[in-house]
Structure 1
């Protein structure tokens, strides 16, 4: 019971503060202008619908010229056309002698491997040769200067009176140092006991507090796999054959011609230092911090060296004057050939042949690009190098060019020197 006079007590009421809520969260409001700017940029560039576009993946087997297709800018340009290239690396001759099943395009680094590939095709194929590049020997300054002192190499004119990056190499004289024989005409120590070692031709004198009693050798990729090694073999065979392409002599006796090629292969085999590596890996070793410790001289392509110098200039603001090139006399110019094996490959061939941006990027990567069906041009590359403070190589005064032997002759020499395994045939 309650008293009649007692007050009625009300239950307490809960009150809440009224909070004004923003319609758009703060972090969204901050990010919104950036998102709108990004969308506008995509719309302007034409990339807004890129995630919804169909991308064609092209399966490719490529040798050292895969450097071009691995370049991020080249990949971006190809994606603008809806193409992505899936690269399987292999030496040029390795590409030519292994199965090409399910492959859309191949990119051997030279004509001998390209001919082997083309001979295997049952369909009409499309191809392009977008650029050319000379075969060169990458070395280090003290070794190059040692060859100059030995009368085997000559300096090219330097940039603004500085240290030269390039030397011309007399292959006939150089091969006398590679043959493993005691050539007393190159003796520098007075004894003749080290005539074909670096110290024997004066390395200690040139490099002062360093020595190298190792034999003179050029580090190459495997001749069984690599176009660069096969081309270098062609240079050695051409010079050893009296500056004549092996197999072109008219002996009047086929058996006599075969014997001459076999004898030539025997003579040049000791001059090859077989490594069993791909050509691009050879360059990787040369440009590494331990490059000089790995090998005094390495077989590479000119475009690999020029690309290194351009990247070095961008990073350090100067040329890499420790690494230098030896240009062989006579010289060999390699012509990489992009070959289509399928309709998808045809699309890439057409693009490489027609797209000016892709050709311009090849020039920026150190290639001598082709124009209007010409064998190759250097002026645009030379201008590009000069504009970026890179010394331009001087054209060789000796215009003697090495031509590869007939394919059967070259294969015979390669197989003898490299003791190569039999090629793998495609399964029908």
Structure 2
């Protein structure tokens, strides 16, 4: 079977040039009616009205009016043309089973948490309907290579147990097709930015979080956690900003709709967060202060030492200079985008080892909600790169030449 994306008059010419017999089976797909099976062969396939990504640009007063097309999911069973046009096999009312991928194999997910995916996990979703079965393999952006490999293997294993008759669809985080979004019984799909649903691997969630709520052209809503940054806002969508004290804001963009507001209420209930509704253009000053940016975080310098007999870390107060770098200690420089571990020439082995561990804990426990994958850069005294020295006023490159 070969799937081609050409006009009908080209079929005979196509068969001739490929040296296949004219009777060779060819499936023709109309533009806009490509099936998931066809799309999976294209790495960067994007639909015309696809609503993936997280809207990294804050748009104000520029909301395009999108005409809503009437979509009747009940007609999918009787209309293959509509199913193709909307990329929907059916209305999602079939049987759904979900497993999380772990080293031990497929682990069933509790049904009450169906539709909540974590970026550090991979999931296998089996959908059964009267005409067959579909296996969705959802792969989180922060999943390990072992989990990604295992998810592919376990998908094939599940398909074999179903007599190799299931349709397999691999889905990357943020690229969920409309049919997958419809499987959770009128609940929006929630995608947490990272983390895991494994009990033994869970870490405390950041105290401040931002969620984007977006409805696509088929009135299906999905919710995605995004960076806590004003640049994440988009006038076409609704956002929920959760604060540490379980309060927050529901931000309504000028192009937001009723379904997205309902989605905001749903994620607020999941987070157990009481939110105040604010409209775009009417935000209180506090709201903008809460949306952090990298430039809002000035560099911070810490000294690491075990001279007292125990390892301690103390912040250097005020503006710091090169003279604050103690040659017999290890220093941590938090430049937000990366954390430097500066090792003085006379620092002892304990200080060297503990400082690296401390840098990792420092990033993981930062209450500002920073990226847990923030790089840690180890710098030796006398060999500092410009990305380090640039944070110090009037750095003297000859100071430590021996």
Q: Normalising to structure 1: TM-score of the pair?
A: 0.24
Higher strand share: 2
Normalized per residue, the structure richer in helix is: 1
Q: Which structure has the greater CA radius of gyration?
A: 1
By relative contact order (CA 8 Å, sep 6+), the higher-ranking structure is: 1
